[in-house]
Amino acid sequence: MLLIMAWRNLWRNRRRTLLTVAAISLGLAVLITMVSFTEGFIDMFVDQLARSSMGHIQLHHPEYRERQSTQLVIPSASKVLEAIESTPGVKAASPRLMFSGSIRSSLSSTVRVVRVLAVDPERERHFSALPEKLVAGGFVVPPPEALEPDAPERFRQRKGILLGAKLARQLKVGIGSRVRLDCAGFQGATVALAFVVTGIIQTDTDAFDSQMVMVALKDFQEATGADDTVHEISVMVHDSRAIAPVVDDIRQRIAAQGLDSTEVLAWYDVSPEIAQMFAMVDSWNGLLYLLMLTILSAGILTTLFMVVFERQREFGVQLALGARGRSLFAGIMCEALLIGLLAMAIGLVVGGLCVAYLTVWGLDLSFIVDGFEFNGMFIENVYRGSASLKVFVEPTVVVLAGILLFALWPAVRVARMKALAAIRCENV
Amino acid sequence: MSEPIVTVREVTRVFKMGDIEVQALRGIDLDIQPGEFTAVAGPSGSGKTTLFNLIGGLDEPTSGTISVGGRRLGGLSRKELSRLRLEKIGFVFQAYNLIPVLTAGENVEYPLILRGEPGPVRRKKVQELLDAVGLSEMTHRRPMQMSGGQQQRVAIARALVCEPVIVLADEPTANLDSETGAALLKLMRRLNREKGLTFLFSTHDPMVMNAASRLVRLKDGRIDSDVRQDNGGPP
């Protein structure tokens, strides 16, 4: 009976109820869309982060990040890699050696200081977005002459190198050009290595395009005497929102192999400034919720207090007939709940459509801001929304809880009414 | 003589309106016996409605005591007063005061729901009461689809559904034309005679005064006269 009365009471003033429901639905839809947008932005950012060189998780020698010394390596890299790749939740892993060095073309005197990234091409191809940025050649591949079955031994010994487009221009080299790379080996002596340019990459990130060269890990380990060691292993997980348990799992697995001297960190521990930026985005969401709740409070309180004032005499009669204050309280709360459920249904449909648009087509903000470079990553100008459960559940729960919370005020007011004063309309 | 259903002893009620005190009742003593069909009459401001509100537990006297169905109202909690009104008192208001979103049947059923009666019991009682007031065909009509007389009949059925010890009817015919008022009065008199129900009216309608078996006249907050009438019966 309580629900029947509440439902029928709602439609006594159809226009007011529809306006209230429309306002709340619209607010909910906007909230869902905005949360989808910000969550999508974070997801995109984390994805870009992971697909740059960072990954979701990084493994180093415990002192490597602070001292950046080439001597500080992860030993038994293949065993560590095996342990990582058998960890549930891990999508891909890429081991790397990183050196500083200088590069020059065999035909030019121009020398450039570079950062050498030695990668496992096959693993890196499944890991990062860099292979998509190739503008010429292949991704860390040997020169074609080295692959000829009947090639002379000196040809088969040739190694391929991938250069950033800007660096290639500065060195005036192209595919097939020969370059010399000098860098410090593990024993302290400088190692001079000859490479054939087999790939050119353009990321639109200046730091990469002008300073980075990539070579095959195996070639570099042999040439520098690094053996089975690497400086870094980057790990990508399937669910970027559930990194912590994977980090713990990897730590345990590595410790079980007696390699617990390796540091295992999530990206937000490696780059706390980016994590802080995301925290700010979350604060923005909090602000949105607060704004929504403020608008909501005005709508729901106005509607329910109008109900209280208009039906005061009725409440008085109900009390005179023997109704308890709590049953009137429940009646008002039921009306608020029904308004909330109606608004929730409409808001979810409208918000769902907006999220679908954001997820499928994205929002092209190129008319406001072009894609930009951040921390070595290129952030695109088409923003896609997230359609995760959180996007729908969190705003809906907040709005519904807000409605019920604000409804408490008029409901308590009704529950405290005195029968005679209410019949005489003296309560207001 | 049996125990009175309502006992009013030395009841006064003073209203404060700013600095002014208005004495609505000035020491009322009144007993209502079971099965009585009593009208409390008097001009506007004589204290009829105040007395009704006090007997109905809707208001508290400034001094004096009131008992209904053997229970003293003074000192009862809000919850106990609600229970007492639900179980022992039936209200019929001048303006009918049906719940507009409920049908006639649901309006009659409402007090039974408050009492926690099971569904089959409720439906049986509702049908019986609507039959008794001659509205069995109107069960599913909303108040706005019924005439004033029909609404007041529903209000009477609602007042009787919990089998109260007394029905308090505050000027029940005031909003009705004389023909409808007479029919309603006849109905209440019949229920009084057939079921032994006790009715207490406040009225200034001569027709109701004539129909009453006892006529209590109030004047300036005091009982001016208390007369038993042998001719008690509807016109």
Work out the end-to-end distance of chain B between its first and last CA atoms, rounded to an integer number of angstroms: 29
**Residue A130 gets which letter from DSSP?**
G
Cβ atoms A421, A316 nearer than 8 A: yes
CB spacing of A324 vs B111 below 8 angstroms: no
- The verdict on a CB contact (< 8 Å) between B83 and A1 is no
Question: What is the per-residue pLDDT for B231?
Answer: 57
CA distance B178 to B182: 6
Host H or E run for residue A279: helix A272-310
Ramachandran category for residue B152: left, alpha or beta (phi over 0 → left; psi -120 to 50 → alpha): alpha
Distance (Å, whole) CA A54 – CA A375: 11
Q: Chain A residues with CB inside 8 Å of B162's CB?
A: 322
* A111, A103 Cβ separation under 8 angstroms: yes
- CA-based end-to-end distance of chain A: 27
Contact A152, A256 (CB under 8 A): no
Please spell the DSSP secondary structure of B118-164, one letter per residue.
Answer: -HHHHHHHHHHHHHHTT-GGGTT--GGGS-HHHHHHHHHHHHHTT--
* Contact with chain A for residue B86, Cβ under 8 A: yes
Global ipTM: 0.90
Q: What is the pLDDT of residues A343-363, one digit of tens each?
A: 999 999 999 999 999 999 888
Give kind and range of the element (H or E) at residue A77.
Answer: helix A77-85
Contact status, residue B90 vs residue B162, Cβ threshold 8 Å: yes
DSSP states along A101-117: EEEEETT---EEEEEEE
What confidence tier does A380 reach under pLDDT thresholds 50, 70, 90? low
- The structure tokens listed for B171 are 């000027």
Q: Which residues pair with A374 in a beta bridge?
A: A377
Check CB contact under 8 Å for A419 and B100: no
Contact A202, A140 (CB under 8 A): no
Which residue do the tokens 């409402």 mark? B110
Of the candidates A376, A87, A36, which has an alpha carbon nearest to the alpha carbon of residue A243? A87
pLDDT value at residue B68? 94
Contact A324 B85 (CB under 8 A): no
pLDDT at A200: 92
How do the domains of chain A map onto residue ranges? 2-49+275-423, 55-270
Q: Report the C-alpha gap between A160 and A175 in whole angstroms.
A: 10
Q: What is the mean pLDDT of each run of 10 residues along chain B (235 residues)?
A: 88 90 93 93 89 93 93 91 92 89 95 93 92 88 92 91 91 83 85 88 88 92 90 49
Q: Count contacts between A and B (CB, < 8 Å).
A: 57
Q: Give the span between the Cα atoms of A315 and A309, in whole angstroms.
A: 10
The whole-number pLDDT of residue B235 equals: 44
Residues of B in contact with A323 (CB under 8 A): 82, 114
> For residue A368, what pLDDT is reported?
66
Q: Cα–chain-centroid distance for residue A385?
A: 11
Structural tokens at position A153: 């031994």
From CA B173, how far away is CA B171, in angstroms rounded?
6
Domains of chain B: 6-96+165-228 (3.40.50.300)
Contact by Cβ (8 Å): A338, A386 = no
Strand A212-216 vs strand A111-119: parallel, antiparallel, or unpaired? parallel
Q: Is there a contact between A128 and A53 (Cβ–Cβ < 8 Å)?
A: yes
Find out whether A358 and A382 touch, Cβ atoms under 8 Å: no
Distance CA A185, CA A173 (A): 25
Q: Which of A172-181, A380-389, A399-408 has the highest mean pLDDT?
A: A399-408
Unique residue bearing structure tokens 């049953």: A327
B102 touches A at CB < 8 Å? yes
Q: Which residue is closest to B103 within chain A, CA to CA?
A: A5
> How many Å lie between the alpha carbon of B145 and the closest alpha carbon of chain A?
15
Strand partners, A265: A58
B113 at interface of A, judged by CB pairs closer than 8 A: yes
